[in-house]
Structure 1
Amino acid sequence: MGEHRRDIDIAVIGAGVLGLATVDSLARRGADVVCFDGRVPGSGLSGGLTRTFRHRHDEERHVALAVEGRAGFAAWERRSGRVLIGDEGAVYAGMGPADVKGLALHGVPHYFAPSARQDEIFPVLAPVDGPLLVDPGAGAIRAKHTISALAGWAGDRIVQADIHSVTVPRDGQGVEVQTTEAIYRARHVVIAAGTEVPRLAAGVGFDIPLEARLHVRPHFRVREDAAGKTLPCWVDRTGAYGETVYGSPIGDTGKYVVGLIGTDVDIPFGPDGALPPGSSTEDQARRVISYVRRAMPGLDPEPVGVRVCVMTKLPGGSDALRAWHTDGVTAVAGHNLFKMAPVLGELLADSAQNNRLPEKLAEAGAGSLVAS
């Protein structure tokens, strides 16, 4: 080891849910791993109180990953002794038989409920035409509890340091990670750093077309007549009430979060942190409030809070997932990946240990494997 650097086996960049899941998997295998992040664990894309765990995806391969992710969450629950996914289930409006092929293929329990059962299934809703798709094994992820458990298991493997760059050194020995605290040389680096993935991965030759956007999620209080009732996660693709949305209960707080779905709803967020001239997140919030007022009378339409979060998207669609690999480096990016964190953590750990992208990860998105 040179006096100017520290040699390690595996470096994981990013202490969000994917990075921490990767660290946990490697640590349980006895690997020498260090996790780097300049912020408190879970402060980036993994921030907030809740996420929706759902099995349904357009890609059947993603359904398979979600099934494995659900089993992984159950294992985390047993280890932590805490509920990490509630039993609320998920309900969809605007879905038909073609939308559940992946669920059927992978044996995920689901059913279509007639509109006559709407009040029983989701008591805060205004009338919705057509049947509702129910995924009883879905539920609201307790995001902070999940991050807390993973960070606790990682312990002092987490180093709070900003990452300047990831590069292949001139001598070709390992991968160099420049941080604010020290220079590290690793045998393998996993980049799971959210919005920072394109910048950091560019140092080893990856051109990652990841786009960052601001997304608004107002929180609403459940009215007294619906208080205490189980409210499922919600996806409305009908547009009958003016918007397509998703929603989720926030644990047992008596609050419910709603956000917009669509290609035109989020605001591009530049690498310099600037919004396009004339744009405002208030427009998103007003649209959500208008939807809740019309479609969800069981919620008080005056928000009691709001989270403005950064979302990342790839060209492949709203649930796109891709991984990139070259000798000594694996990078991962996508959208709505929290629910798949347990299985993705195992796959990224495999990649780090074997210096090869696992087949499941290579197949998760078209053109995933990139060699240089």
Structure 2
Amino acid sequence: MSRSFVVVGAGLTGAATAWRLAQRGESVTLLERATPANPQGSSHGSARIFRYAYPAAFYTNLVVAARSQWHCLTEAAGVELIRRTGSLDFGSLRDPVALAAILESAGVSHQLLAAQEAAARWPGINFDGPVLWHPDAGVLDASAAVHAMTSLAVEAGATVVTDWPVERIFRDNDGFVLSAANGDSLAADHVVLAAGGWLPTLLDELPSLRALMPPLRIRQEQAYHFPYRDHGVDWPTFIHKRDDIMTYSLPGGRDAGFRGQKLAEYNGGSGIASSAFNDGVVDPRNRKRVISYVERFLPGLDPTPYAETTCVFTMTPDEDFVIDTVDGITVASPCSGHGAKFAPLLGSLIADTATGAAPAPDRFRFRSRGVS
């Protein structure tokens, strides 16, 4: 007998999960409180880093597996979703040599460079030590990916419902009822919570499930776009981690006119209770700090930002994802600011655990965090 699945949240994770469930012939409804990839969530915009370099081989191998699924998604949607730019890793806290060893073991093309060699190739960047280069990294169009997977989910039989904020989830006989503030309700045999920064609010209604979760911290981060001084130079993505500041950067996407470099300080924002409190206001102290960083390390950029935005990070203490199923509810929080690059693969992993086909990797499960 067919089961009904409701997926809450139409960001990258929810869209991928709905698509993968619908592909398997399941009855799927994708609920979104506003519209897919809306600015209050974590999946809006056209520029996210797609990279292979991780200090944990587990995640590098997961990126390798995800890349083939991005190829499948691109072919199915007929839309190019990843621009190849290459990526750099440097700084005293980044350890390019250790990262190179992990890429070597995963069979990912890479090169270690001295600071002087890197400066000759990328004169717009001031390097402060050895540099790791891996050329197959790039820029992912997050919003386009959400819409592509949502469309494919609908083609496979899923229903997408927008402007439907879930206020409460409660058990009813052998299934669940989801209710909205306006009194609307929807029944489901199984619920997948892929609500990103809205997850803490939903878990308030599910105390037994919340007790299993690692503590989540929601952060309102900010990102800036700085104009290129020389528009004829190709810029890579990069991650630069020092004792005094940690940054990530990538060529800006279509929503910033492709005319500058997107840059943000990692964990440079403030804590908020949930995505509901993302007010879109950039912290002027953070803006000043990031501009100072550009003046010190990025001579190839004009240090006056021409665009800026806020986004929501849902952080776990160890920055690992959370994917697990308990009593008919699957929690899917591929979070901590680095989940976008895995989206189509995560959709498959989440569909597996929601249907009972296979558990999620142990690293993502509640029991790996000392609970069961």
**TM bracket, shorter-chain basis:** 0.7 to 0.9
What's the CA shift for 1:60? Answer: 2.0
Q: Which amino acid aligns with 1:72?
A: Q
After superposition, residues 156-175 of structure 1 pair within 5 angstroms as: 157-160=159-162, 161-169=164-172, 171=173, 173-175=174-176
After superposition, residues 106-125 of structure 1 pair within 5 angstroms as: 106-119=106-119, 121-125=121-125
Hey, what does 1:229 align to over in structure 2?
233
Does structure 2 retain, via aligned residues, the 8 Å contact 1:326–1:370? no
Relative distance call for 1:19 and 1:370 in structure 2 (3 A) is: farther
Which stretch of structure 1 is more off in the superposition, 194-203 or 136-145?
A: 194-203
Relative distance call for 1:210 and 1:305 in structure 2 (3 A) is: same
Q: Which amino acid aligns with 1:105?
A: S
Relative distance call for 1:112 and 1:302 in structure 2 (3 A) is: same
What's the CA shift for 1:131? Answer: 2.2
Q: Which amino acid aligns with 1:99?
A: L
What's the CA shift for 1:105? Answer: 2.9
Relative distance call for 1:8 and 1:200 in structure 2 (3 A) is: farther
Secondary structure of 2:312's match?
A: strand
Relative distance call for 1:273 and 1:364 in structure 2 (3 A) is: closer
* 207, 211, 218: which one aligns with 2:217: 211
Give the Cα–Cα distance (whole angstroms) in 2 for the partners of residues 14 and 268 of structure 1: 21
What's the CA shift for 1:271? Answer: 4.1
- Kindly provide the CA deviation profile for residues 121-143 of structure 1, in whole angstroms up to 9, marking residues without a partner as x: 434213x2332101211111112
Give the Cα–Cα distance (whole angstroms) in 2 for the partners of residues 368 and 175 of structure 1: 27
Give the Cα–Cα distance (whole angstroms) in 2 for the partners of residues 57 and 258 of structure 1: 19
After superposition, residues 146-157 of structure 1 pair within 5 angstroms as: 146-155=145-154, 157=159
Relative distance call for 1:88 and 1:23 in structure 2 (3 A) is: same
Q: In the comparison of the two structures, how many residue pairs are matched?
A: 350
Give the Cα–Cα distance (whole angstroms) in 1 for the partners of residues 78 and 253 of structure 2: 16
Secondary structure of 1:206's match?
A: helix
Hey, what does 1:348 align to over in structure 2?
350
- Kindly provide the CA deviation profile for residues 231-267 of structure 1, in whole angstroms up to 9, marking residues without a partner as x: 110111135xx532110101371211101124xx221
Give the Cα–Cα distance (whole angstroms) in 2 for the partners of residues 256 and 280 of structure 1: 18
Give the Cα–Cα distance (whole angstroms) in 2 for the partners of residues 148 and 136 of structure 1: 27
Give the Cα–Cα distance (whole angstroms) in 1 for the partners of residues 321 and 161 of structure 2: 27
Hey, what does 2:242 align to over in structure 1?
238
What's the CA shift for 1:10? Answer: 0.6
Give the Cα–Cα distance (whole angstroms) in 2 for the partners of residues 162 and 80 of structure 1: 28
Hey, what does 1:258 align to over in structure 2?
263
Hey, what does 2:72 align to over in structure 1?
75
What's the CA shift for 1:280? Answer: 7.1
After superposition, residues 114-153 of structure 1 pair within 5 angstroms as: 114-119=114-119, 121-126=121-126, 128-153=127-152
Does structure 1 retain, via aligned residues, the 8 Å contact 2:282–2:310? no
Hey, what does 1:3 align to over in structure 2?
none
Q: Which amino acid aligns with 1:351?
A: T
Does residue 87 (structure 1) correspond to residue 88 (structure 2)? The answer is no
Relative distance call for 1:313 and 1:130 in structure 2 (3 A) is: same
What's the CA shift for 1:58? Answer: 2.6
Does residue 303 (structure 1) correspond to residue 314 (structure 2)? The answer is no
Relative distance call for 1:359 and 1:269 in structure 2 (3 A) is: closer
- Kindly provide the CA deviation profile for residues 155-189 of structure 1, in whole angstroms up to 9, marking residues without a partner as x: 461101110112222x3x11222234632221111
Hey, what does 2:341 align to over in structure 1?
339
- Kindly provide the CA deviation profile for residues 12-52 of structure 1, in whole angstroms up to 9, marking residues without a partner as x: 00000000001111122221100001111011111122110
After superposition, residues 5-84 of structure 1 pair within 5 angstroms as: 9-43=4-38, 44-84=41-81
Give the Cα–Cα distance (whole angstroms) in 1 for the partners of residues 76 and 273 of structure 2: 39
TM-score, normalisation: structure 2: 0.86
Does structure 2 retain, via aligned residues, the 8 Å contact 1:357–1:369? no
Give the Cα–Cα distance (whole angstroms) in 2 for the partners of residues 348 and 107 of structure 1: 26
Give the Cα–Cα distance (whole angstroms) in 2 for the partners of residues 281 and 178 of structure 1: 35
Give the Cα–Cα distance (whole angstroms) in 2 for the partners of residues 125 and 142 of structure 1: 24
Does structure 2 retain, via aligned residues, the 8 Å contact 1:197–1:332? no
Secondary structure of 2:81's match?
A: coil
List runs of 5+ in structure 1 lacking aligned partners: 1-6
Secondary structure of 1:283's match?
A: helix
Relative distance call for 1:201 and 1:104 in structure 2 (3 A) is: farther
Give the Cα–Cα distance (whole angstroms) in 2 for the partners of residues 178 and 371 of structure 1: 29
Give RMSD over aligned pairs.
2.5
Q: Which amino acid aligns with 1:77?
A: T
The share of aligned pairs that are identical, in percent, is 28
TM-score, normalisation: structure 1: 0.86
Hey, what does 1:314 align to over in structure 2?
316
What's the CA shift for 1:53? Answer: 0.8
Which stretch of structure 1 is more off in the superposition, 338-347 or 75-84?
A: 75-84
Q: Which amino acid aligns with 2:240?
A: D
What's the CA shift for 1:190? Answer: 0.7
